[in-house]
Amino acid sequence: MVKLVLVRHGESEWNKANLFTGWVDVDLSEQGVEEAKRAGRRLKAAGLSFDIAYTSVLKRAIKTLHYALEELDQLWIEEHKSWRLNERHYGGLSGLDKKETAEKYGAEQVHIWRRSYDELPPLLDRDSPYHPANDPRYKDLDPRSLPSGENLKVTLERVIPFWQDRIAPQLRDGRTVLVAAHGNSLRALVKYLESISDEEIMNLNIPTGVPLVYELSDDLAVEKKYYLERD
């Protein structure tokens, strides 16, 4: 049996302000820092330690990983960052207020944008400051793989190759893996790991800063799954 732990970053400044965020690189709020440290304490209380960690190229996930590893005194472990673990790109909704957007387009439409599997948000113009083509951290990527807006399906299609090529081989070699990422990149991974249907995934929410432990068989089938809810 091998262990995989997923943790969604702690509350961000824009979670707190109720703004659509996606790939915008906002920081953790004060509460988010506390949630990240608490995640680390919960991992420690559960007797977990890690061989390798993965995160996105967004600071709310990177910092969550580091705060958690600091509590474990494991800041030294090997870690890898990838855009493939980024939050889903919210396209033209990036930076908008979620409540105001619901007032404008209706709560039902906003719920579909937020939770459906295959409905795309409005797409972003390539000259928008929120477009990844204008962000140096993505300069080495093929411009064709830079999204102007993503649904969960597109997010899953870029997360799963990273899972298959990078994370799964580590687990198969018996390593304990920590992944610090985002609400929707983790929903995509959970959908894949648990074969959740396109309809059912609409009801799945992953809370911020609560470690989700998977116990996997040697061929990476899910044997057990639980949240660490105690420090």
Task: Tell me how far CA of residue 148 lies from CA of 68, 72, 89, 90, 119, in angstroms.
Answer: 32, 38, 7, 8, 14
Binding flag, residue 155, ligand 3PG (CB under 6 A): no
Q: Annotated binding residue at 114?
A: yes
Report the Cα 159 to chain-centroid distance in Å.
10
200 is catalytic: no
Binding flag, residue 21, ligand 3PG (CB under 6 A): yes
Binding flag, residue 3, ligand 3PG (CB under 6 A): no
Among 6, 20, 148, 189, binds ligand 3PG (CB under 6 A): 20
138 CB-near residues (< 8 Å, 6+ apart): 83, 132, 146
Neighbours of 153 (CB within 10 A): 17
Distance CA 198, CA 211 (A): 24
Binding flag, residue 114, ligand 3PG (CB under 6 A): yes
Distance CA 98, CA 111 (A): 10
Q: 20 or 162, CB closer to ligand 3PG?
A: 20
Q: Which residues pair with 224 in a beta bridge?
A: 215
Binding flag, residue 22, ligand 3PG (CB under 6 A): yes
**x/- contact string, 70-109, with ligand 3PG (CB under 6 A)?**
-----------------x--x-------------------
Residue with smallest beta-carbon separation from ligand 3PG: 21
The distance between the two most distant Cα atoms of the chain, rounded to a whole number of Å, is 51
Binding-site entries for substrate = 8-15, 21-22, 60, 87-90, 98, 114-115, 183-184
Residue positions annotated with a catalytic role: 9, 87
Contact positions vs ligand 3PG (CB under 6 A): 20-22, 87, 90, 114, 182-184
